[in-house]
């Protein structure tokens, strides 16, 4: 499955015909920001399943719609529901959402996610601003014929997580009760959580957190030159750090507990970028 540039354009044109405005910023809502889209002012939503050439979510906790609205005076579009490799998509399909967001004309992308804390000085409920990532799992979403309309065949990854946006997120940390770190996210495909040995290896390699999303989207943003900020909520200590097994319930409970202060932190960032 390789899309032509025109197929991406068809998706973006469909959205623009129904959107209330051209958005300035795009935000991908991870499981830690579920209710965020409900708090947008004058929201307008478009179901993924109605958008030609888009993807459809299979994760229950992810709604599967684009929601346009304003946050502190900024025109934003939220992806409420995202696409993960573990759902069965090919890596190559996972470029679709970010490329369509790029064609909507946004000037920056904010990715949010739930992650497991590898760094033992982190705690559940802490936030991590991504400074970089590690992905050692095979293929790339940018594999296959290159579309030069989006970016070059070989592209730089040295400033994928835009330094200026990270500086804004660091500055906003002063206004939240959450503890905010900056660190490295390591991608694992899931759907299984990692083994304790994988987490020890991740720590040796320099990872501070692990998760099953975000990196495919970050690679797509880097390819098309879209400024990027990515934020992880530590929903749990990663496998083997604590004696008890990991559960999806624990991840969901922390995500729910943190959603309000994390949402406020993200709104603060949006206001300042
Ligand atoms: N591992 C991978 N993904 C996750 C985790 C984890 O520990 N917690 C939340 N998402």
Residue 166 pLDDT more than 90? yes
Determine what percent of the chain is predicted with pLDDT higher than 70: 97
Ligand 1 center from residue 29 Cα (angstroms): 16
With a Cβ cut-off of 6 Å, ligand 1 is lined by 114-116, 188, 193-194, 210-212, 235-236, 238, 246, 251
Residue 191: asked if its preceding bond is cis (omega within 30°), the reply is yes
Protein residue whose Cα sits closest to atom 3 of ligand 1: 211
pLDDT of residue 138: 84
- Can you tell me the mean pLDDT for 191-202? 97
- Can you tell me the mean pLDDT for 15-30? 96
pLDDT of residue 60: 61
Q: How far is residue 169's CA from residue 126's CA, in Å, rounded to a whole number? A: 14
Quick one: pLDDT band at residue 61, thresholds 50, 70, 90?
low
Residue 262 pLDDT more than 90? yes
List the one residue out of 221, 273, 190, 211 whose CA is nearest residue 79.
221
Burial 44-55 (b: 16+ CB within 10 A, else e): ebbebeebebbb
CA distances from 145 to 2, 9, 89, 92, 148 (A): 8, 17, 18, 10, 9
- In sequence order, which residues have a C-beta less than 8 Å from that of residue 221 and are 6 or more positions away? 98, 102, 109, 160, 227, 228
Ligand 1 atom with minimal separation from the 213 CA = 3
Ligand 1 center from residue 20 Cα (angstroms): 35
The rounded mean pLDDT for the chain is: 94
Q: For 92-140, how does the pLDDT look when each residue is reduced to its tens digit (9 = 90+)?
A: 999 999 999 999 999 999 999 999 999 999 999 999 999 999 999 988 9
How many other C-beta atoms are found inside a 10 Å radius of the C-beta of residue 38? Answer: 13
pLDDT of residue 59: 62
Ligand 1 center from residue 94 Cα (angstroms): 19
CA distances from 22 to 8, 40, 74, 97, 173 (A): 17, 15, 11, 16, 29
Q: Which residue is associated with the tokens 């991590």? A: 128
The two structure tokens encoding residue 178: 């959450």
Protein residue whose Cα sits closest to atom 2 of ligand 1: 211
Residue 31 pLDDT more than 90? no
pLDDT of residue 250: 87
- In sequence order, which residues have a C-beta less than 8 Å from that of residue 153 and are 6 or more positions away? 146
- In sequence order, which residues have a C-beta less than 8 Å from that of residue 250 and are 6 or more positions away? 124, 235, 236
Q: How far is residue 100's CA from residue 215's CA, in Å, rounded to a whole number? A: 17
- In sequence order, which residues have a C-beta less than 8 Å from that of residue 47 and are 6 or more positions away? 64, 65
């Amino acid at each position: 499955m390789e899309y032509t540039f025109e197929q991406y354009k068809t998706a973006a044109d469909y959205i623009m015909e129904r959107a209330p405005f051209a958005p300035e910023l795009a935000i991908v809502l991870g499981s830690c920001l579920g209710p965020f889209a409900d708090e947008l002012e004058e929201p307008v939503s478009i179901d993924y399943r109605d958008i030609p050439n888009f993807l459809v979510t299979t994760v229950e906790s992810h709604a599967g719609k684009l929601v346009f609205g304003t946050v502190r005076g900024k025109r934003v579009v939220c992806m409420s529901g995202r696409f993960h490799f573990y759902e069965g998509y090919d890596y190559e399909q996972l470029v679709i959402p970010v490329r369509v967001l790029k064609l909507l004309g946004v000037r920056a992308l904010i990715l949010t996610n739930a992650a497991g804390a590898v760094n033992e000085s982190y705690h559940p409920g802490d936030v991590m601003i991504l400074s970089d990532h590690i992905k050692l799992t095979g293929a790339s979403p940018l594999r296959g014929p290159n579309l030069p309309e989006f970016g070059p065949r070989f592209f730089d990854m040295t400033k994928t997580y835009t330094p200026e946006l990270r500086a804004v997120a660091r500055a906003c940390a002063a206004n939240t009760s959450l503890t905010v770190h900056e660190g490295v996210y390591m991608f694992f495909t899931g759907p299984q959580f990692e083994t304790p040995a994988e987490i020890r290896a991740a720590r040796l390699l320099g990872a501070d957190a692990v998760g099953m999303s975000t990196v495919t989207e970050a690679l797509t943003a880097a390819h098309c030159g879209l400024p990027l900020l990515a934020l992880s909520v530590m929903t749990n200590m990663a496998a083997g750090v604590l004696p008890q097994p990991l559960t999806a319930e624990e991840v969901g409970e922390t995500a729910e507990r943190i959603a309000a202060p994390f949402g406020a932190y993200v709104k603060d960032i949006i206001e300042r970028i």
